[in-house]
Amino acid sequence: MNYFSKYFFVICLGTLLLLAGCSGEESSSGDSEDASSFPEKPVTLIVPSAAGGGTDSTARALADATEEHLGESIGVENKEGGSGATGMTEGANAAPDGYTVSMVFVELTMLKHLGVSNISSDQFKPLGLVNLDPAALTVPADAPYDTIEEFIEYAEEHPGEVQVGNAGAGSIWHIAAESFAKETGIELNHVPFEGAAPAVTSLMGGHIDAVTVSPAEVLPQVESGDLKTLGVMSEDRSDIMPDVPTFEEEGVDATPVGTWRGLVVPQDTPDEVADKLEEAFLKGAEEDEFTEFMDSNGLGLEIKDSEEFEQFMQTESDFYGDIISDLDLGNNE
C-alpha cells in the first residue's frame, strides 16, 4: 500500500469512527428525549373488575379528570376475574413505558397470602392512592340490637347463628367480619356472595342478619330506614355517616379494615415517566369534577403520593398476611 492509499485509509477510518460516535450520542439523546416528551399517545388504564362497579366508575371519573393534566386521552379497559388477579397481573406484565397504568385495590395486598395468585405490590411502581373506605357493620332496622356492644352480646348468646354476608370467601369484607369475630371472641356464620351488592340485597330480604361492607354500599338503604349501621371499622368516623360511631368509640378494640383504590405502573417504568403520571393523576384527583363524583357516590377521597402509597401498601400487606395466617384462610395446599 503506497503513502496516499495509507493516508486515504486512515482518513476514512477516522470518519467512520466519528460518525459512529455521533450516532451513539444521538441514540442516547433520543432515549432521553423520548422520556421527556412522554406521553405521545393515549394511555390505557386497566381496571381489574367488571364494568359498572365502584372501581370501574371511580377509574373512569378519574381518567376524565386527569386527561387535561396529562395532555393525552386515557382509555379504560376492564380485565375482571380472580378477585382482581387477572387484571392486576396483566398490568404488572405490561410494557414498562408508562402507556399502561393499572387501578389496584386492597386485594393486591391479600391475594398472595391467600394462595390464590402470585401477584403482589412488589411487582408495581406506585403512583398514588385516591380512595379509602372502611368496613361497616350494618343490620336490618328492626334487628334486636342498636349498638356494637348489644350485637356482641346477642352473638355470644347465639353462637354461630348470626349470619353475616360478605363479598366472597377471602374478600376484604369476609376478612373484616372474621377479624371482628376473632378480636371480640364471638362466633359468626359467614355467608359468601358474588359481591357486596348481592349480600346487601339478601340482608334487605331478611335472609341474613348483617353485612360488613363499606358505608357507601348501604347508604341508600340506611337513609331509607330499611337498614341501620352500628359502627365503622376505622380510626375516624365516615364522612357520609357522621352520626355512626367507630368500633373504638363503642369500646371494641377492632383493627381498622377497609377497601382502597390506587394507581400503579409496572416496576421497571422509568422514574421520569412515573413522576409525570403521578403528577397528572393526583392533580386529576383534586379536580372538582372528581371530588364531586366521590362525594355524590359516598366514596372516601383519600390522596397519598407515590412514596406514601408504597409505605401504605407494605403496611397493608403485612397486616393481611398476619390476619390471614391467624384465621387460617390461606390456601396451604
Per-residue pLDDT reduced to its tens digit, 81-118: 888 899 999 999 999 999 999 999 999 999 999 998 99
Is the same domain home to 127 and 266?
A: yes
Is the same domain home to 173 and 213?
A: yes
In a domain, 243, yes or no: no
Is the same domain home to 298 and 318?
A: yes
Domain that holds residue 95: 43-133+258-326
Residue 207 Cα distances to 139, 153, 203, 223, angstroms:
11, 21, 6, 21
- Does pTM surpass 0.85? no
Is the same domain home to 262 and 129?
A: yes
In a domain, 17, yes or no: no
* pLDDT tens track for 227-281: 999 999 998 999 899 999 999 999 987 778 999 999 999 999 999 999 999 999 9
| Cα–Cα distance for residue pair 192/184, rounded to 1 Å | 21
Is the same domain home to 95 and 140?
A: no
Phi/psi of residue 74, each to 5°? -125, 115
* pLDDT tens track for 18-74: 444 444 433 333 344 467 889 999 999 999 988 888 889 999 999 999 999 999 999
In a domain, 10, yes or no: no
In a domain, 225, yes or no: yes
In a domain, 272, yes or no: yes
**Number of folded domains that form the chain:** 2
State the CATH number of the domain containing residue 306: 3.40.190.150
Is the same domain home to 200 and 264?
A: no
Is the same domain home to 54 and 81?
A: yes
Is the same domain home to 152 and 115?
A: no
Phi/psi of residue 277, each to 5°? -65, -45
Is the same domain home to 124 and 140?
A: no
